Structure 1
Amino acid sequence: MSATPQPPSVTAGLDAWLSYLEALHPSEIDLGLERIQAVAQRLGIAPGQAKVITVAGTNGKGSTVRYLETMLRAAGYVTGVYISPHLVDYEERVRINAQQLDAQYHVEAFNAVEQARGDTSLTYFEFGTLAAFWLLQQQALDVWILEVGLGGRLDAVNCIAADVGVITSVGIDHVAFLGPDRESIAREKAGIFRPDKAAIIGEPDFPATVLAELRQRGIEPARVGRDFHYRRNADTETWDYVGRSSVLRQLPLPQLPLPNAATALKALEKLALPVSLQAIKQGLQTAREHGRLEFRPGSPNVLLDVAHNPHAATFLAEHIRSRFPNYTIMAVVGMLHDKDIRGTLAALAPVVGQWFFADLAGPRGAKALRLADEMAPGSVASVHTFSTVADAYQAACAEAQRESVETLVLVCGSFYTVSQIPQAE
């Protein structure tokens, strides 16, 4: 039997604390709110007068959070954001007014949680969520913007009741924890909604059975296609938003996904904090998220996106068709073995000219040969396999530069894949 890990000192570095968190609980994921609620109560976690927006969804959470952050900041509000996972550095998980906090702040927060938890066992995510809430509570914030880690109903973030709950999308992912079908997954995500609080659904095909269950709980969400609408204006770089209480014309087309911008605007309507049209436009224009439709022009052109399931891959393929219709696509892909590899690759296949598959390290990482084996029969795109993302990326860039036509190097398949690109350049 392994010895109980000992907590680092408050003077220890962030890496020491993260290693401790990883060793503390026998399971990486242990859904349920009882343990985290008990420790949150001991810590005195409460948003106070600050408004809280909680964002759940299979895909689109990160960009929706970013839209909310940039628009609210442009309106002069002080924002605190909690997201997960991070791409490169743990400090990415907490932002105060769009700025990361130094590592020592996280160490102090971890120490506070450690002192409060007693003998309550917490997972890595639960411990980090409580630490993030503790950090947000130290600031004089107007709005907390929280991204759900997994599902919603039993996710650690849901121990805080949101003034506005948002579901961006519902796709098949994390079936071992959320259920095998869209109805089960939607039900778990809808667990963030409260009967006396605002609820927003940006998923156009939300399961009717779950909507009926929500009505029985006294919840009537605002839904895309019924309570709010959006459309891109033909032959322009603008779009229109139509809600129940506001109509916004000729908005600037954002870099991040448009459906999530519309969902964020509906959330702002329900939040009941004044946000001017000028602030909305500024927020839309400045919203950027590393690894989400992140375009890097150059030689070669590069597009980074963390799409790692069929739902996200389908949206990514549509974006490529629209934005890069005549480009030859060199796809650098690394994935986790517990994802729907075949479905994800099938969604991307119609736009890919060459595949550059890479091994992902770690117990959940899939081998490049496994990705190649999952390709649909009859695929005409050439396939190359590599032992690292860096090698695959360098090979794709070299091939793109040799081509006489316009090319785009696409990097996708996992947060772990995209996170390695800065190190590979």
Structure 2
Amino acid sequence: MSSPTTLADWLAHCERLHPSTIDLTLDRVQAVATRLKLRFDCPVVTVAGTNGKGSTCAMLEAIALQAGYRTGVYTSPHLVHFQERCRIRGEVVSAEALLPHFEAVEVAREGQGLTYFEFTTLAILRLLSQAALDLVVLEVGLGGRLDAVNVIDADCAVITSIDLDHMDYLGPDRESIGREKAGIMRAGRPVVVSDPMPPRSVLEHAQALGADLHLSGRDFRYSGDRQQWNWSGRHRRYNALAYPALRGANQLLNASGVLAAFETLHERLPLNAQAVRNGLAMVELPGRFQIIPGQPTLVLDVAHNPHAVATLAENLDQMGFFPRTHAVFGAMADKDVNAILLRMHPLIDAWYFTDLPTGRALPGTDLKRRWEALPARPGGAAASASCHPSPLDALHAALGAADPTDRILVFGSFFTVGGVLQDGLPRLAARHLG
């Protein structure tokens, strides 16, 4: 077989290397990272949690950019293109920029099997380590303790909300899952917990490790009204802040944790209040309660577990009145689909269940069958459902059936939202407006 020459070639190579898509252990990754001599000369913030990780990473990046710092960010998964997983100085890296780092990992692994996630994570970490940056932000893919990102010792760990997800890998309850997330902490270094009610396992691990624990409600807190909000930490205070540009009920929780993280790094990365204000005002994150202008109103959200879907439902309730709400929905087989459907059931008048381009997804017909088993909607209002081969096909069907005053929600897996974004936002918006 010829050597890979394009990013697509390398990604296909990575998919063939290991029989499992997930194989939680750090041994393989650590060995290859050591041979790569991975190290960072700037502060590194690692972000773990069930929900809010992407928003937290985006706000850390936006504020640091406004302060004039050179940033590097690694997040996963991507919505449309693999390159979205890595941003340098606010820009998505090019496919070509990644190639030498894939080649370096291939040499350094010395025949060692790596999963797709492990291989690609190491390649992106190497790129970031050589990019002359002032701040690197790393989002944990799954869990924390045994995630490939955790081969890097973070200068500050951030743990966002913790809830039930990936229970086959992380454990059956919040205490077990919290213990896995807490694995990103380092002895003597700060850890910011933005979950207002963290599992005891997180607090106990921080104490046993001797980490510098910053707790929401104890070491930092926020308050606000409909117009503005205030934040105070151990040594800093910000007053009369505008709300983050990211929509949603939980964004102040995330923003509060972000400001606490910056407070822990203030000696190496000093901030002024204007950078905080500008960063929060300009932050962007596709697919997180993202509203695309036009008629009908179009909402995109990657909520794919019961906790995230409860927040989505709250956000939808706050949007005002729409005669009907249509929903394009696709999900992975390991998600608590019944709980998701039950929570959204009263809000949705027409479902468009979709297949997704991965063997890990539930077919649309299975989703429809589970929806049909739900109890009647409150008030006896009838709803409809149909199945479609792709998210874009499902969206076309919804656009064809919806009135201009209706609302269309596209939610669930990253594959669902990414499937309607595959032509890019401008083209989607143009088609939507047309």
The answer to whether the 8 Å contact 2:80/2:422 transfers is: no
Which residue in 2 is equivalent to 1:387? 389
The answer to whether the 8 Å contact 2:179/2:201 transfers is: no
**SS state at 1:419 partner:** helix
Amino acid in structure 1 at the alignment position of 2:338: R
User: In structure 1, how many angstroms separate the alpha carbons of the residues matched to 2:133 and 2:384?
Assistant: 52
**SS state at 1:221 partner:** strand
**SS state at 2:407 partner:** strand
User: In structure 2, how many angstroms separate the alpha carbons of the residues matched to 1:239 and 1:7?
Assistant: 57
Among candidates 5, 24, 30, match of residue 17 of structure 2: 24
Which residue in 2 is equivalent to 1:277? 273
User: In structure 1, how many angstroms separate the alpha carbons of the residues matched to 2:284 and 2:145?
Assistant: 28
**1:23 CA displacement:** 0.1
Between stretches 327-336 and 192-201, larger displacement belongs to 327-336
Matched, 1:264 2:266: no
The answer to whether the 8 Å contact 2:154/2:184 transfers is: yes
User: In structure 2, how many angstroms separate the alpha carbons of the residues matched to 1:53 and 1:166?
Assistant: 7
Q: 1:184 to 1:325 in 2, by over 3 A?
A: farther
Matched, 1:339 2:335: yes
User: In structure 2, how many angstroms separate the alpha carbons of the residues matched to 1:222 and 1:275?
Assistant: 19
Amino acid in structure 1 at the alignment position of 2:243: L
Which residue in 2 is equivalent to 1:34? 27
Amino acid in structure 2 at the alignment position of 1:411: V
The answer to whether the 8 Å contact 1:229/1:242 transfers is: yes
Q: 1:369-388 alignment to 2 at 5 Å?
A: 369-375=365-371, 376-379=374-377, 380=381, 381-388=383-390
Matched, 1:211 2:203: yes
**SS state at 1:420 partner:** helix
**SS state at 1:45 partner:** coil
Amino acid in structure 1 at the alignment position of 2:236: S
**1:260 CA displacement:** 1.1
What percentage of residue pairs aligned between the two structures are identical? Answer: 45
> Which segments of 5 or more consecutive residues in structure 1 lack a partner in the other structure?
1-5
> Which segments of 5 or more consecutive residues in structure 2 lack a partner in the other structure?
429-434
User: In structure 1, how many angstroms separate the alpha carbons of the residues matched to 2:312 and 2:201?
Assistant: 29
Q: 1:39-78 alignment to 2 at 5 Å?
A: 39-48=32-41, 50-78=42-70
Matched, 1:415 2:414: yes
User: In structure 1, how many angstroms separate the alpha carbons of the residues matched to 2:80 and 2:375?
Assistant: 36
**SS state at 1:374 partner:** helix
The answer to whether the 8 Å contact 2:182/2:205 transfers is: no
**1:325 CA displacement:** 4.8
Deviations 1:107-156 (CA, angstroms, capped at 9, x unpaired)? 11100111111122111111111101110122111111000010000000
| Aligned CA-pair RMSD | 1.6
Which residue in 2 is equivalent to 1:8? 3
Amino acid in structure 2 at the alignment position of 1:251: L
Q: 1:150 to 1:199 in 2, by over 3 A?
A: same
Among candidates 280, 291, 294, match of residue 298 of structure 1: 294
**1:316 CA displacement:** 0.8
Amino acid in structure 1 at the alignment position of 2:253: P
User: In structure 2, how many angstroms separate the alpha carbons of the residues matched to 1:387 and 1:98?
Assistant: 35
Which residue in 1 is equivalent to 2:114? 122
**SS state at 1:371 partner:** helix
**1:247 CA displacement:** 2.2
**TM-score by structure 1 length?**
0.93
Amino acid in structure 2 at the alignment position of 1:86: H
User: In structure 2, how many angstroms separate the alpha carbons of the residues matched to 1:109 and 1:319?
Assistant: 41
Matched, 1:252 2:242: yes
**TM-score by structure 2 length?**
0.91
**SS state at 1:158 partner:** helix
